[in-house]
């Protein structure tokens, strides 16, 4: 595919071992290829989405490929689900591998490898993909907990940007003791503090211990009724992040319901910034993830339509930035004007519909409605 372009900057995900290790590997590869160190930057996902892209050449790892990243002399190494197609950028992508494994494969193509890196990348891959059947799963979580406990840049500084120093770092002894002492205590407490979000989803409260290990052990318990377990944490001081885990690939579909993403058994999502309290976050999750009625039944309940019949009008799939919305529209010809039971608004004659300042999605529905015979289908 040709030589890699020289980067002005290397950008990675701030928050976990996969982002840290993939970023350091790309930094090491750049130094090997071009003889000079390139600055590494790291962003949480929500901050990355709002960052302006000024660089004419960059390498990016562990951040979902988007259309705005499709730029000449950009290399993106990632494993998250994306609908964007590269036409200018070089995309190294595989959902079945962690970003650090993909970055390491690039390094190996250029002769940059070692037994230490082989082992380290394996552990990071097991932890990031939540490969709970791997015999190294608990050790992999020890390495992952390093970054979550001490922070991305603190660990980077302690190893002086050298990824090989992570494999046998002395702080791993602390992680081992925490796992052996804290995890059993945390597991026993969390087992008694699981709140039902839906019949298949449970919110696990944690007070001590590695939440990944605790969720893993809860999921394999024979009497566990929930197929997806999640934890709730604050990020950036003012926004809630949901972390989801499963054993049978069901975490990702649930994350997508929350406009999130990730991997089949390890996924996550950020809740709207308007959700400020933990109690509000729980209620938001219950409404978002509980089984919903059929759209027609929801419309009838919201509009107090009683036994009136609803006729399907159209279904509109509409994207707004990275969010994908499905709108199901209905038409009704009631004998009398229904009252608005649970909604604020007013009824308008059909002639006024074309004058309203609607969003693009609702404009599509209005146009469909007005184009039907007598304004109805």
User: Is 77 in a helix, a strand, or coil?
Assistant: strand
73: DSSP letter: T
Mean pLDDT across the stretch 209-219?
A: 91
**One domain, residues 59 and 117:** yes
Please report how many Cα atoms fall inside a 13 Å half-sphere around the Cα of residue 328, on the Cβ side. 11
Q: Of 224-228, 239-243, 268-272, 354-358, which range is least confident?
A: 354-358
**One domain, residues 221 and 160:** no
pLDDT bracket for residue 2 (50, 70, 90):
confident
**One domain, residues 242 and 305:** no
In a domain? residue 2: no
Match 């605790």 to its residue by tokens: 214
**One domain, residues 231 and 205:** yes
Give the per-residue pLDDT at 274. Answer: 87
Q: How far is CA 204 from CA 83, 192, 207, 277, in A?
A: 32, 9, 10, 17
pLDDT bracket for residue 377 (50, 70, 90):
very low
**One domain, residues 147 and 256:** no
Q: Do the Cβ atoms of 43 and 11 come closer than 8 Å?
A: yes
Cα dihedral 193, 196, 202, 207, rounded to 10, equals: -20
pLDDT at 71 over 90: yes
Q: Do the Cβ atoms of 26 and 105 come closer than 8 Å?
A: no
Residue-wise over 63-99: b if at least 16 C-beta within 10 A, else e? Answer: bbbbeebbbebbbbbbbbbbebebeebbbbbeeebbb
**One domain, residues 338 and 256:** no
DSSP 315-331: EEEEEETTEEEEEEEEE
Q: In the chain, how many domains are there?
A: 3
**One domain, residues 64 and 196:** no
**Given the DSSP bridges, would you call strands 311-320 and 323-331 parallel, antiparallel or unpaired?**
antiparallel
Give the per-residue pLDDT at 321. Answer: 60
**One domain, residues 159 and 192:** no
**One domain, residues 13 and 124:** yes
What is the pTM for the complete model shown? 0.70
pLDDT at 325 over 70: no
pLDDT at 376 over 50: no
Give the per-residue pLDDT at 260. Answer: 85
Of the candidates 360, 278, 272, the residue with the CA atom closest to the CA atom of residue 316: 360
In a domain? residue 86: yes
pLDDT digits (tens, 9 = 90+) for 167-212: 999 999 999 999 999 999 999 999 999 999 999 999 999 999 988 8
How would you list the strands of the sheet with 228-235, edge to edge?
A: 194-198, 201-204, 228-235, 239-246, 266-270, 261-262
375: DSSP letter: G
Residue-range definition of the domain harbouring residue 100: 9-169
In a domain? residue 206: yes
In a domain? residue 125: yes
In a domain? residue 4: no
In a domain? residue 268: yes
């Amino acid at each position: 595919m040709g030589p890699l372009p020289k980067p002005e900057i290397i950008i990675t995900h701030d928050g976990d071992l996969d982002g840290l290790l993939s970023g350091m590997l790309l930094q090491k590869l750049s130094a090997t290829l071009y003889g000079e160190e390139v600055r590494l930057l790291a962003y949480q996902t929500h901050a990355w989405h709002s960052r302006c892209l000024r660089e004419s050449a960059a390498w990016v790892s562990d951040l979902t490929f988007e259309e705005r990243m499709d730029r000449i002399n950009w290399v993106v190494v990632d494993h998250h689900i994306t609908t964007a197609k590269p036409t200018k950028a070089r995309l190294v992508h595989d959902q079945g591998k962690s970003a650090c494994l993909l970055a390491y494969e690039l390094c190996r193509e250029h002769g940059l490898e070692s037994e230490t890196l082989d082992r380290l990348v394996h552990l990071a891959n097991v932890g990031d993909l939540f490969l709970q059947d791997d015999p190294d799963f608990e050790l992999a979580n020890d390495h992952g907990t390093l970054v979550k406990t001490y922070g991305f840049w603190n660990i980077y500084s302690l190893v002086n940007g050298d990824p090989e120093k992570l494999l046998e770092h002395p702080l791993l002894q602390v992680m081992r003791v925490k796992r052996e002492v804290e995890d059993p205590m945390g597991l026993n407490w969390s087992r008694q503090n699981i709140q039902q979000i839906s019949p298949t989803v449970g919110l696990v409260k944690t007070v001590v211990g590695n939440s990944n290990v605790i969720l893993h052990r809860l999921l394999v318990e024979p009497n566990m009724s929930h197929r997806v377990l999640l934890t709730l944490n604050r990020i950036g001081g003012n926004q809630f992040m949901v972390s989801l885990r499963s054993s049978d690939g069901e975490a990702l579909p649930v994350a997508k319901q929350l406009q999130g993403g990730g991997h089949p058994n390890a996924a996550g999502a950020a809740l709207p910034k308007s959700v400020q309290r933990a109690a509000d976050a729980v209620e938001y999750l219950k409404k978002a993830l509980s089984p919903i009625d059929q759209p027609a039944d929801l419309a009838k309940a919201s509009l107090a339509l009683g036994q009136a019949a609803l006729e399907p009008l159209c279904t509109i799939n509409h994207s707004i930035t990275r969010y994908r919305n499905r709108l199901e529209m209905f038409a009704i010809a009631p004998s009398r004007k229904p009252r608005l039971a649970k909604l604020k608004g007013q009824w308008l004659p059909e002639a006024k519909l074309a004058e309203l300042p609607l969003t693009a999605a609702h404009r599509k529905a209005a146009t469909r409605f007005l184009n039907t015979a007598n304004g109805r289908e």
